[in-house]
Structure 1
């Protein structure tokens, strides 16, 4: 029986199975031709929910004093290095286990290396009372790390649709394209081309292998990154029917419908995030947001499909906490749009859960399958905060993602492959010569210096330019910027915008490589500088799902199963005995 913790509406689903190894291999052969294309698509604005009249105060953190610094002498660092080495040697034994029963991939949307460095310091200073720089995020202790090239086939600096498609399907694609290869146009739909360019994600492969699957995100569940786990669509903006060009609406379903009506989305055991409006649960018409012109309530569709199952639909913290171990299907939609930021969300029963809360419930359900599971968890609001130059909010989101990863580490064992990466970076920099332990969100130089003080964290572009730029009517000021005394007071506001060096409504992504961190079976195959699409191939190989399972001799049915190796061992022993006895 489906439980409605908040009354809602819902509807049915269909099947649509396409993938086969041969098709995937054909795509792989064509891949070398894809990267030479250079076709440009239109950029898109980011959307951020700002809670009106929200106030909060965060005390600035002073730099470390000399006595604290002197504690970190020779013995401190020798012991630190020894403990790290021991941990790496221990983890090496785990990672060479041959098959991953479970896979969890964490995506920090927009979490470039500057973001992880700054978040490491931020979390160390605020959560652990450290100077900050010596702290490590949970995934920074993973034994295997590589750099990932994030470009789309037609853009030097990518968007989340093309990057997520690469991560989850193993095929790089266009800027704004989801689950289709380069043959499909972002602006024009042709059914014959579409049918040839559709891709399967590793969620399809996992389901075919009998594993359970799920997605968790702090964005809309129809947003680019989560959508790439289940949707095949030319344009990421087609989240609901009114965003699909009218002439195409009878030929292709919007992203929300694909999630609820088609495979693999309709088979997901867990779907948690925002996006009530795209799903038709609320009619929340707002500029820049899509609403359902077809008046479908896809939550009702989901409820009806699972009416004979133990299924739960949740819309707030209280609903989520009521989910029990016997729940088999969970749909949680916690906001009409993206979910609130971690530092500003209502944490009461009527409010929204955090990423760790959602990850906990997802694992509670998915761990029940003896065949294992594949779970995608996205800290999507890191990206949303960066687009508006909200550095403090971006740090809070990254710290919460780290907490979710830490929880997953404690809840899973050596048979789980855990990957942590970003889809792309941001135009975000850490600069200056701040003292050790200085507040990472503070000034990068002495505020009493005669030259203009600047922030340690700044952006290459974005709305933070206008936030700081205050020329007078005559433009005679040498530095038409806000006074330090004013900035010191504003700096503690979560909505404080760090400086962007030229003005844009939304700060842009960055095009540099991002890191990927890996722990668990076959994680030693993450090394060097890799193409982003390689990640899906690793998942296929390690978990014995999809096209690359055939390469793993330890996968069932590949000709060298455990049982076969045992038989070979018996045959060898018998041969030795026969040789010496007879």
Structure 2
């Protein structure tokens, strides 16, 4: 039925129907109502779960990206199409505040999404007993949280994540890390007084669960028999905090290891010693050489965050797109007989907003949509739950009274009697000085409509308050879902609910039993407990020595 609605709208667009009169809107409403009435709940087991996080992708960003995409295709842009997740059958709203803040950060929100527990701003993988930057080893251990990736691994699923930020950044580290400070990504950032309290996040990814593995030992000989659980896929930026290269570029906020360790090389050797077919790749050409025969792949494609898709080098020596990384990840994870859980982060939406780069933020959002479309084509709604959400919003707003069809990146009006201003503006950010005519010695705003660089992807949209990095927004964000148990996401939810719903739909973790009774599909058999498995292996070895 959704396709019928889209067809109706497209026919109107291309047949030159100029008047959207009463009959038009009655038909649109009727088709949409029939679509809602025809919905049936999918209660199959969610064998596979894919969570897309558009970092900073608030509702205003989704709306603007929808219009931007349509206008790039020559349409009016406001209603003649939808972003693919807007066609999902189930949609809800998510409350994003942190325990201690009305407006959140990505560490606290990422922790909520992936552990099922809300926490303080700036901390990763620990509950609200830990304050940002306060490291008491005993307290941190008590406050450590398990992520859905550990729950999934215990059920026999393959796991991994893809991001366009550093792999140690706030959102990806929320899938595996535990730290009182999100910026402790490398050893150099961990203060001396906290060195004995926690490892840096890069070490946690390589050395600890669920990033590394659970190991089964031969108790008699104390040697490793098999690596059971680990991230099969780790894709993103962050060569510097992982110690792969020495950072020599311009002054940039990026962790540089001072302990001489190359954690990517250690990761590779660790996997090879376990008999796994592991691979470490650093560019698009090397990523293309990855096959489904590989048991584990780490790809680090930038010293810091990856480049914006519009600016990245697209040859074999350059960095891959979010779509390229995600498709490769899916090929690796789909071979798991018990399914998989994958996180995909469009992390540069957030980075663009922080610098008031509205055009780049919309381009990154549309790029993430192409990735979602590819994932939908490679998976089945019968057994794969696809969730698209954000961690928080930003201060960008769509304002004024622009005419329908007006360039979403343009001016809000063309009335010569009024001060011109942009449709997309920010409440704060570094753009303040770009729009202030400081050269005259007077506090005068420049006419944005006359600025020659408005078409530049790095053009900064207006912000009336100066701050080095634009802040997040505190309003609710949306969650879109399709596949098994997608109906669980209808309504208004606390952000930590996402992990609980995923646990239920996938029959793993603390809520595994709640959806089993209504499921119409087979269940994944969890892995046998490590102790029991160890004794079974030992018994087998003793018998056949």
Q: Which residue of 1 aligns with 2:389?
A: 421
Cα offset, 1:358, TM superposition: 1.0
- Change in 2 beyond 3 A, CA 1:485/1:514: closer
> Given the alignment of the two structures, is residue 365 of structure 1 paired with residue 332 of structure 2, yes or no?
yes
> Given the alignment of the two structures, is residue 252 of structure 1 paired with residue 198 of structure 2, yes or no?
yes
Residues of 1 paired with 2:362 and 2:18: CA distance? 28
Q: Which residue of 2 aligns with 1:9?
A: none
Residues of 1 paired with 2:507 and 2:102: CA distance? 33
Which structure 2 residues correspond to residues 37-116 of structure 1 after superposition, within 5 A?
70=18, 72=20, 77=25, 80-81=28-29, 84=32, 88=36, 92-93=39-40, 95-116=41-62
- Matched residues, number: 489
- Residues 555 and 561 in structure 1, CA contact (< 8 A), matched pair in contact too: no
Q: 1:517 aligns with which of 465, 480, 487?
A: 480
- Change in 2 beyond 3 A, CA 1:82/1:410: farther
- Residues 554 and 561 in structure 1, CA contact (< 8 A), matched pair in contact too: no
- Change in 2 beyond 3 A, CA 1:363/1:474: closer
> Given the alignment of the two structures, is residue 173 of structure 1 paired with residue 138 of structure 2, yes or no?
no
> Given the alignment of the two structures, is residue 437 of structure 1 paired with residue 405 of structure 2, yes or no?
yes
> Given the alignment of the two structures, is residue 341 of structure 1 paired with residue 308 of structure 2, yes or no?
yes
- Change in 2 beyond 3 A, CA 1:359/1:429: same
Residues of 2 paired with 1:169 and 1:484: CA distance? 44
- Change in 2 beyond 3 A, CA 1:190/1:318: same
Residues of 1 paired with 2:97 and 2:448: CA distance? 39
Residues of 2 paired with 1:196 and 1:207: CA distance? 22
- Give CA deviations for 1:514-568 in whole Å, capped at 9, x if unaligned: 1111111111111221100111000111101101112223499xxx9979xxxxx
Cα offset, 1:494, TM superposition: 0.7
SS at match of 1:480: coil
- Give CA deviations for 1:481-516 in whole Å, capped at 9, x if unaligned: 2245631x2110111000002111111000011111
> Given the alignment of the two structures, is residue 300 of structure 1 paired with residue 248 of structure 2, yes or no?
no
Unaligned ranges ≥5, structure 2: 1-12, 213-229, 524-545
Q: Which residue of 1 aligns with 2:77?
A: 132
Residues of 2 paired with 1:305 and 1:311: CA distance? 9
SS at match of 1:70: coil
Cα offset, 1:251, TM superposition: 3.2
> Given the alignment of the two structures, is residue 269 of structure 1 paired with residue 232 of structure 2, yes or no?
yes
Cα offset, 1:87, TM superposition: 5.2
Q: Which residue of 1 aligns with 2:182?
A: 236
Q: Which residue of 1 aligns with 2:256?
A: 291
- Give CA deviations for 1:279-313 in whole Å, capped at 9, x if unaligned: 00011054432111111100111110222322221
SS at match of 1:110: coil
Q: 2:513 aligns with which of 550, 557, 564?
A: 550
Q: 1:398 aligns with which of 342, 351, 365?
A: 365
Q: Which residue of 2 aligns with 1:27?
A: none
Residues of 2 paired with 1:149 and 1:521: CA distance? 23
SS at match of 1:306: helix
Residues of 1 paired with 2:259 and 2:476: CA distance? 41
SS at match of 1:270: strand
Q: Which residue of 1 aligns with 2:375?
A: 408
Q: CA RMSD in A?
A: 2.3
- Change in 2 beyond 3 A, CA 1:355/1:83: farther
Q: TM-score, normalised by structure 1?
A: 0.80
- Change in 2 beyond 3 A, CA 1:231/1:562: closer
Residues of 1 paired with 2:335 and 2:522: CA distance? 24
- Residues 101 and 372 in structure 1, CA contact (< 8 A), matched pair in contact too: yes
Cα offset, 1:83, TM superposition: 5.3
Unaligned ranges ≥5, structure 1: 1-64, 564-582
- Change in 2 beyond 3 A, CA 1:272/1:122: same
Residues of 2 paired with 1:103 and 1:366: CA distance? 11
- Change in 2 beyond 3 A, CA 1:83/1:328: farther
SS at match of 2:108: helix
Cα offset, 1:74, TM superposition: 5.7
SS at match of 1:222: coil
- Residues 472 and 480 in structure 1, CA contact (< 8 A), matched pair in contact too: no
Residues of 2 paired with 1:89 and 1:325: CA distance? 41
- Give CA deviations for 1:220-273 in whole Å, capped at 9, x if unaligned: 010000000000111101000010111222331100010011110111000100
- Change in 2 beyond 3 A, CA 1:562/1:116: closer
Instruction: Compare 149-158 and 317-326 and name the one that shifted more.
Output: 317-326
Residues of 1 paired with 2:148 and 2:160: CA distance? 11
- Give CA deviations for 1:6-64 in whole Å, capped at 9, x if unaligned: xxxxxxxxxxxxxxxxxxxxxxxxxxxxxxxxxxxxxxxxxxxxxxxxxxxxxxxxxxx
Cα offset, 1:330, TM superposition: 1.3
> Given the alignment of the two structures, is residue 155 of structure 1 paired with residue 101 of structure 2, yes or no?
yes
Q: Which residue of 2 aligns with 1:569?
A: none
Q: 1:486 aligns with which of 432, 444, 450?
A: 450
SS at match of 1:176: coil
Residues of 2 paired with 1:291 and 1:88: CA distance? 52
Q: 1:507 aligns with which of 467, 470, 493?
A: 470
> Given the alignment of the two structures, is residue 320 of structure 1 paired with residue 320 of structure 2, yes or no?
no
- Change in 2 beyond 3 A, CA 1:329/1:73: farther
- Residues 45 and 521 in structure 2, CA contact (< 8 A), matched pair in contact too: no
Q: Which residue of 2 aligns with 1:193?
A: 139
Cα offset, 1:333, TM superposition: 0.5
> Given the alignment of the two structures, is residue 278 of structure 1 paired with residue 224 of structure 2, yes or no?
no
- Residues 44 and 383 in structure 2, CA contact (< 8 A), matched pair in contact too: no
